[in-house]
Amino acid sequence: MVAYFAALGLANGVWLARIPAVKQHLHLTDGVLGLALLSAPAGLVVVVLFVSRIVHRVGSRRPTIVAGTCAALVPIGLGLAPSLPALMAALFAFGLAGGILDVAMNSQAVLVERGMRRPLMTSFHACYSFGGLAGALLGGLFAWARVGPAMNFAVVCIPLACAAMAAGRWLVPDDGGNGAEQPAVAAQGRPRRLLQSWTPALLVMALLAACSLLGEGAADGWSAVYLRDNLGAPAGLAALAYAGFSVAMAVGRLSGDRLSMRFGAAVLMRWCGLIAAAGLAFGLLSRDPAAAIAGFTAFGAGLSCTFPLLLSAAGHAEPDRPAHGIARVAGFGYGGMLAGPVLIGGLATALGLQRALTMPVLLALAIAVGAGVVGRGIARSPGNR
C-alpha cells in the first residue's frame, strides 16, 4: 500500500518542481499558468463524484493498480505538451488518475486498518508527504543539472509506473475475510435513496475535510507571498514558510497513528485543530519573519492528521462500502483545496492578506469543534469495537 501513496506524492512533487521550466518552455504568463494549474484539481473533483461506483463494482484493488500506473505516467505528457491546451488536457488527466487512485488506495487502507485492527491511515499519508518531498528534491536536482522536464519525467516516472504495477500483488483482496467490501453484494444489495447516502455524520466529515484542505491550499499558495510582501522577507527566506509547513505535515503524519491509538481519534483531531489555529494566529500576529515561519510550521503540524483521520472515519462509517464515504469526504476536501487560494486571494484584495489568512484560523477552530464526529465514525469499524 505504501508504494501507491508514495508514488502519487513523488509524481506530484517532481511535477511541482518543474513547473517553472514548463512555464518558460510554453512562454506562459503568471495569470495563464494559474488558470492552467486549475485543470488538475478540476479533474480530481470531477472524478470523485463517480469513482465510488467504480470501486463498488470492481473492488478497490484493480482501480488502485490501473490508476497508480496512469498517475505515474501522465507527468511525461506534461513535459511533452507542445501548447497550453495540451498542457491543460494532461493536467486534467493527471487529476482524473489521481482522483481515482486517491479513493481506491484509501479504500484499500481502510481494509488494511480493519484487518490489522489498528489505525494506520496517517502513516500511509505520511508516505505521500515524504514522496512529495522526494519528488521535489529530484526535480530540483534535474533542474540544477539543466535536464529538460520531458526527460526528467521519463527518467523518474517510467520506473515509478513499473513499481506501481508490481506492487499490486500485495494489495488486499476486496473479497477477503476481514470485513472487506464485496462488489457483487453491493451491486445487488438493498437500494439506497439519494438522501440516505448522506448521513449527518458524513456531511460533517465532508465539511471538515473542506476546512482542512482549504487550509492546506492557503499555505500552498500564500505562505511565501505573505512573508515576502507583508513582512519584507527575502525570497529565499520566504520560501521556508512553505518548506516548514510541508515538513511538519510529513512528520506529524508519522506520529498520528500512535497518538490516535493512545488518546483516541477525536482527541487527536481536536488538538490538531487547536494547534493549527494557534500556530497560524501566532504567525500572523508576529511581524518577525522567523516567527511567521514557526507559525506556518505549527499550522502544518496541526493540519497533518486531520484529513487522513476524516478519510479513515468516512471509510469505517459504512463497513460494507468504504469507498462511498471516502469519495464524498474527499470530493468536498478537494473542492476546498481548489477554492482556497481563490477565496484567500479575493479576501486579500478586499481586506489585505493578513486579514484574509485569518479565515484558515477560523476553519481550524471549526475542525476542533467538530472533532467528535471522527471518533463516532471510527468507532463503527469492526477493528475498533
Are 97 and 220 in the same domain?
A: no
Q: 154 and 220, same structural domain?
A: no
* Domain's final residue, options 170, 189, 205: 170
Domain that holds residue 378: 197-384
Residue 79 lies inside a defined structural domain of this protein:
yes
Asked, for residue 332, whether it belongs to a domain, the answer is yes
- Please compute the mean of the pLDDT values over residues 328-342 and round it to a whole number: 84
Is the pLDDT reported for residue 309 higher than 90?
yes
Evaluate if residue 149 carries a pLDDT over 50. Answer: yes
Ranges of H-type helices in 286-384: 289-303, 306-317, 322-351, 353-356, 358-369, 372-379
The answer to whether residue 192 sits within a structural domain is no
Looking at the structure, tell me whether residues 81 and 164 fall in a common domain.
yes
In a domain, 82, yes or no: yes
Domain assignment of residue 272, yes or no: yes
**Are 99 and 203 found together in one domain?**
no
Using CA atoms, how far apart are residues 368 and 382, in angstroms rounded to an integer? 26
| Res 28 pLDDT > 70 | yes
Question: How many other CB atoms are there within 10 angstroms of residue 376's CB atom?
Answer: 16
pTM of the model as a whole = 0.83
In this predicted structure, what is the pLDDT of residue 358? 95
- The predicted-structure confidence for 286-301, as pLDDT tens digits, reads as follows 889 999 999 999 999 9
114 and 50 co-located in one domain? yes
Q: Answer yes or no: do 130 and 210 share one domain.
A: no
Number of domains in the chain: 2
Query: Which of these, 126, 170, 368, lies nearest to 270 by C-alpha position?
Result: 368
Going 236 to 237 to 241 to 243, the CA torsion angle's sign is positive
Does 191 map to a domain? no
183-193 residue pLDDT tens: 433 434 444 44
In a domain, 175, yes or no: no
Co-location of 283 and 347 in the same domain: yes
**pLDDT of 182 above 50:** no
Of 135, 170, 205, the residue at which a domain comes to its end is 170
Per residue in 235-265, pLDDT (tens digit) is 778 878 888 998 999 999 999 999 999 999 9
The answer, yes or no, to whether residue 385 has pLDDT greater than 50, is no
Residues 153 and 210 in one domain: no
Looking at the structure, tell me whether residues 214 and 255 fall in a common domain.
Answer: yes
Residue 237 and residue 375 in one domain: yes
Residues 285 and 154 in one domain: no
C-alpha cell at 3: 508504494
Could you say which of 170, 188, 214 is where a domain stops? 170
Q: What is the pLDDT of residue 349?
A: 86
Asked whether residue 292 is domain-assigned, the answer is yes
Give the tens place of pLDDT for each residue, 104-127.
Answer: 999 999 989 888 888 899 999 999
CA distance 317 to 242: 34
What is the CATH classification number for the domain harbouring 355? 1.20.1250.20
98-107 tens-digit pLDDT: 999 999 999 9
pLDDT in tens, 67-85: 999 999 999 999 999 999 9
Dihedral sign, Cα of residue 238, residue 241, residue 244, residue 250: negative
Pair 181, 327: CB distance under 8 Å: no
DSSP class of residue 27? Answer: T
Give the pLDDT confidence score for residue 175 in this predicted structure.
59
Q: Are residues 101 and 208 in the same domain?
A: no
